[in-house]
Amino acid sequence: MPHPETAPVLVADIGGTNTRVALADGVAVRQETVTKYRNAEYPSLDRVLRTYLDEKSIQVTGACVALAGPTRNGVGGLTNLDWRMDEALLREATGANHVALLNDLVAQGYALNNVAARDLTSVVSRPEPRPGETRLMIGIGTGFNAAAVHTTASGLMVMPSEAGHANLPVRTERELRLCRFVETAHGFPAIEDVLSGRGLERVHAFLDSNPDRSQRPHAAQIMEAAKNGDRHALDTLELFIGLMGTVAGNLSLIHLPFGGVYFVGGVARAMGPYLTAHGFAEAFANKGRFADFMRQFPVWLLEDDFAALTGCAAYLAQGSDQGAGSSTA
């Protein structure tokens, strides 16, 4: 059942490095209650949640956790951290009657109906979407993922995936050479092996004219170099953004997001100032005879860093029992 608007619920966003926890009333996150914890200082997620509730001296009736990893049938784990959580343990840790585990991108999808206009930046303008049309979330940060957002009679339904682990598409000889450069013992690279923070570093290394250089820059250093006009860094962004447009276009043909494509995540936001100049729209629409069809999909950057927390609150407020947080590895 949906929670009353005034009921306090606990919401949490667990990444590979930090966990953010907050309280929410209905779909509104209490900004002053957002607290960040370093994961390395805690042995498990339930210890983080218990610490937060002890510090706040509060009881909650609901709890929803967004994980940076797949969830299925009430069980979830983080891709880049050895933490496991299930709904029974979440209920025990929080004392909440209503609990849910969501993939973090799925949680951000549930936030879409509560995003402020000031937190959206247009990347590709298209005709105004009609209410209820399918939307597509694409997250680029530590990893890559995508989730389709559908409007139903009972509220939003966000469909999980592990799209970042599909093979990276190849259009050109240079992109094939990039794939050969990036591939590991697991074989041909996945999308997130290139379209992620670590992927940006790999693209930079691929384009480096001095392959023996021992000190490779981190993603943040590459972005800073691009900001200062460094040619190598800008070439890296151009190749990265071209692939970003290709993959987003492929996913759009699969899901038909006439309601819009929404990019989230730290790497996607960092690319924002460069997308227009470095050919994102052209790569996105480069689908042969379907190029005109692609021009029906608006593209946005979602700048709200608390979207996963808002989405967790919205999921609980909706009272969804459709299993939309489930995901397969």
Residue 214 binned pLDDT confidence (cut-offs 50, 70, 90): low
Residue 311 host element (H or E)? helix 307-318
pLDDT digits (tens, 9 = 90+) for 266-292: 999 999 999 999 999 999 999 999 999
- Residue 62 has which token pair? 């609901």
Residue 283 host element (H or E)? helix 280-285
Q: What is the pLDDT of residue 80?
A: 67
Q: What is the pLDDT of residue 15?
A: 82
Q: What is the pLDDT of residue 74?
A: 85
pLDDT at 327 exceeding the cut of 60:
no
Q: What is the pLDDT of residue 5?
A: 45
State how far the Cα of 65 lies from the Cα of 308, in Å rounded to an integer: 9
Q: To which residue do tokens 């929080």 refer?
A: 94
Residue 73 binned pLDDT confidence (cut-offs 50, 70, 90): confident
Among 116-120, 157-161, 168-172, 320-324, the range scoring the smallest mean pLDDT is 320-324
State how far the Cα of 159 lies from the Cα of 157, in Å rounded to an integer: 6
Average pLDDT over residues 102-108: 94
Residue 321 binned pLDDT confidence (cut-offs 50, 70, 90): very low
Domain covering 135-151+161-302, topology: Hexokinase; domain 1 (3.40.367)
Average pLDDT over residues 106-128: 92
323: left (phi over 0), alpha (psi -120 to 50) or beta: left
Pairing mode, if any, of strands 71-72 and 28-29? unpaired
Mean pLDDT across the chain, nearest whole number?
89
Specify the domain boundaries for CATH 3.30.420.40 within the chain. 8-115+304-318
pLDDT at 263 exceeding the cut of 60:
yes
Average pLDDT over residues 30-39: 94
Q: What is the pLDDT of residue 6?
A: 55
State how far the Cα of 102 lies from the Cα of 152, in Å rounded to an integer: 19
Three-point CA angle 221, 144, 238, nearest 5° = 50
pLDDT at 145 exceeding the cut of 90:
yes
Domain spanning 8-115+304-318, CATH architecture: 2-Layer Sandwich (3.30)
State how far the Cα of 56 lies from the Cα of 38, in Å rounded to an integer: 18
261: left (phi over 0), alpha (psi -120 to 50) or beta: beta
State how far the Cα of 107 lies from the Cα of 313, in Å rounded to an integer: 9
Specify the domain boundaries for CATH 3.40.367.20 within the chain. 135-151+161-302
